[in-house]
């Protein structure tokens, strides 16, 4: 779908230029964003050893227009900006005028919007080709894959499930001459399962977010849900310990390292929030002699990942770069606006995290320590973006002694400091991709790196 041919686009441009001509002294620039969104949604109920029964199917369509108006006004000069979602059936001139007036109520430090690109946009694959070609067929394939797997599951009862397959196209154009279009896909699947025999009082509800069908790997996800469900009645609470060794998976690693990366964003320096700059160590204590090191590259071109994009939010070409080498920051990420505020050249570095892997398997890492708690699932991992400390209850875990499984764990609170954790850790040599789709309370995150991490410092467990 080529949104640059949308019949509403020239009408919006004309309305914006009309208001701009009437207010030449203050009207600085405009931006138009057009989005087309389709979501196929299936709600299901289940039973033991049988396919899910669909009880509701929805095809949700949304086509939206947003304008952003930037003004320069007052004395001394300040920058105003305002966004507005356009109703295509209402008077365009009135909506544009209202947005313009709203922008005059905003007083930001002035900055210049980019007038030319820092390079040609790369042709990057942002969408699962199967979903992009035919979302209906892709949704049907996912449903078949789910049912082929679930009818083989006889140890638990699958009570319900939901599958959302989403496809979004985005086009933007600015009065400064920038424009671009991209398409993004994502998948959401959740299921509720309980252990046999029923009825009982414990139900496991888990969800999976992904960018592509391959990334989702729903058959494997169902196996993980079944394993957790079968384990919930065979658990004990871990012992309290001020210096625990734990193992976490790629999803947790991506969350921990993403908060490190966020402190390299130059906007945090301008906001006077805790930040890292070139030459800083990401550690807070001396490095252990046998610990691995952190090396991170940001890459916006990895096919079909959460932060793969041809252009940044400012409409510029994103740049691939190594940002951390051997625990030391090589550079901040600097955008157009913040670069002007700080008086530094913007570099437009952004993208998915590419993280170095280790040399040992997961099993070899477990064998290397006397005792270790493997975190299968956290109840809710909470990370303080300023202090880089974290905590969560153990939803499900495994206790290992000298590499041998001892018992299942549930309950107890684990906490730690990322800057202490990275002083003594080991990565596994298995690679995994993790994609976190942007939500209302979190930003998108893309990660390619080790599937497991053995953390040997900076972890406390409060249990029995």
| Whether 45 and 89 share a structural domain | yes
Please report, for the domain that includes residue 80, its CATH number.
3.30.2290.10
Is the pLDDT at 142 greater than 80? The verdict is: yes
Using N-to-C axis directions, what is the helix angle for 135-150 and 218-231, rounded to 10°?
Answer: 40
Q: Is residue 232 scored above 90 in pLDDT?
A: no
55, 262, 306, 308, 351 from 444: Cα distances, Å:
31, 12, 6, 10, 10
What are the structure tokens assigned to 263, written together?
Answer: 């402190």
| Pair (212, 246) in one structural domain | no
pLDDT-derived band at 231, boundaries 50, 70, 90: confident
Q: Has residue 441 got a pLDDT over 80? A: no
Is the Cβ–Cβ distance between 449 and 356 less than 8 Å?
A: yes
Beta bridge partners of 454: 247, 426
Could you report the per-residue pLDDT of 29-86, keeping only the tens digit for each? Answer: 999 999 999 999 999 999 888 899 999 999 999 999 999 999 999 999 999 999 999 9
**What are 442's two structure tokens?**
């979190």
* pLDDT interval class at 222 (50, 70, 90): very high
- Same structural domain, 330 and 265: yes
Asked if 55 contacts 41 with a C-beta cutoff of 8 angstroms, the reply is no
Judge if 223 and 291 occupy the same domain. no
Tens of pLDDT, residue by residue over 80-118, are 999 999 999 999 999 999 999 999 999 999 999 998 888
pLDDT tens digit string along 294-325? 999 999 999 999 999 999 999 999 999 999 99
Hey, what are 10's tokens?
A: 């020239």
Reported as a single tens digit per residue, the pLDDT across 256-294 is 999 999 999 999 999 999 999 999 999 999 999 999 999
Same domain, 182 and 276: no
Cβ atoms 86, 92 nearer than 8 A: yes
Same structural domain, 99 and 54? yes
What's the average model confidence in pLDDT over 198-227?
A: 90
Which two structure tokens, joined as six digits, stand for 20?
A: 């701009």
Domain stop point among 180, 209, 230: 230
Same domain membership, residue 267 and residue 226: no
Average pLDDT, the chain: 95
Same domain, yes or no: 397 and 276 = yes
Distance CA 96, CA 284 (A): 51
Judgement on whether residues 249 and 208 belong to the same structural domain of the protein? no
User: What residues pair up with 36 in beta bridges, in sequence order?
Assistant: 63, 169
Name the one residue in this structure whose structure tokens are 């609170």: 413
Average pLDDT for residues 154-161, to the nearest whole number? 93
| Among 436, 458, 456, residue whose Cα is nearest residue 215 | 436
Indicate if the pLDDT at residue 233 is higher than 80: no
Which backbone phi and psi does 221 adopt, to 5 degrees? -60, -40
23 and 164 part of one domain: yes
The last residue of one of the domains, among 230, 252, 273, is 230
- pLDDT of 200 strictly over 90: no
> Distance between CA 318 and CA 59 in Å, rounded?
33
**Are residues 199 and 278 both part of a single domain?**
no
Segment (H or E) for 73: strand 53-73
Whether the bond into 45 is cis, omega within 30 of 0: no
Domain count, the chain: 2
pLDDT of residue 218: 96
pLDDT value at 439 more than 80? no
Label residue 333 exposed, middle or buried (CB < 10 Å: 0-12, 13-18, 19+).
buried
Phi-psi region of 304 (alpha: psi -120 to 50; beta: other; left: phi over 0): left
Identify whether residues 327 and 443 lie together within a single domain: yes
Identify the domain containing residue 273 by its residue range.
236-462
At which of 184, 208, 230 does a domain end?
230
């Amino acid at each position: 779908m080529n949104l640059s041919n949308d019949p509403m686009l020239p009408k919006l441009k004309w309305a914006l230029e009309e208001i701009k001509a009437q207010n030449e002294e203050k009207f600085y620039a405009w931006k138009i964003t057009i989005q087309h969104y389709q979501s196929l949604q299936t709600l299901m109920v289940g039973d033991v050893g049988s396919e899910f029964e669909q009880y509701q199917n929805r095809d949700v369509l949304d086509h939206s227009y947003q304008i952003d108006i930037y003004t320069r006004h007052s004395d001394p000069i300040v920058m105003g900006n305002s966004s507005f979602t356009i109703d295509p059936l209402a008077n365009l001139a009135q909506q544009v005028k209202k947005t313009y007036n709203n922008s005059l109520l905003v007083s930001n430090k002035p900055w210049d919007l980019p007038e030319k690109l820092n390079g040609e946009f790369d042709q990057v694959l942002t969408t699962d080709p199967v979903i992009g070609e035919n979302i209906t067929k892709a949704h049907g394939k996912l449903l078949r894959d789910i049912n082929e797997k679930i009818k083989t599951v006889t140890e638990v009862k699958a009570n319900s499930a939901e599958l959302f397959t989403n496809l979004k196209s985005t086009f933007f154009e600015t009065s400064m001459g920038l424009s671009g279009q991209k398409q993004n896909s994502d998948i959401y699947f959740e299921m509720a399962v309980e252990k046999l025999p029923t009825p009982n009082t414990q139900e496991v509800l888990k969800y999976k977010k992904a960018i592509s069908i391959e990334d989702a790997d729903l058959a494997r996800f169902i196996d993980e849900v079944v394993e957790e469900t079968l384990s919930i009645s065979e658990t004990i609470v871990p012992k309290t310990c001020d210096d625990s060794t734990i193992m976490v998976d790629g999803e947790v690693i991506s969350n921990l390292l993403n908060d490190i990366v966020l402190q390299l964003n130059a906007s945090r320096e301008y906001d006077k929030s805790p930040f890292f700059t070139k030459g800083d160590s990401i550690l807070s204590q001396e490095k252990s002699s046998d610990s691995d090191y952190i090396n991170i590259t940001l890459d916006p071109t990895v096919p079909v990942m959460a932060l793969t994009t041809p252009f940044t939010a400012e409409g510029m070409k994103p740049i691939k770069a190594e940002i951390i080498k051997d625990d030391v920051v090589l550079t901040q990420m600097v955008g157009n606006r913040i670069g002007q505020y700080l008086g530094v050249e913007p570099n437009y570095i952004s993208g998915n995290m590419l993280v170095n892997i280790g040399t040992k398997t997961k099993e070899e890492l477990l064998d290397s320590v006397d005792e270790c708690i493997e975190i299968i699932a956290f109840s809710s991992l909470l990370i303080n973006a300023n202090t880089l400390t974290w905590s969560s209850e153990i939803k499900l875990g495994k206790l290992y002694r000298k590499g041998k499984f001892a018992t299942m764990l549930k309950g107890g609170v684990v906490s730690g400091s990322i800057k202490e954790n990275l002083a003594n850790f080991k990565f596994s040599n298995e690679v995994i991709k993790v994609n976190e789709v942007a939500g209302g309370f979190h930003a998108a995150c893309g990660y390619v790196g080790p599937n497991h991490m053995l953390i040997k410092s900076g972890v406390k467990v409060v249990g029995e």
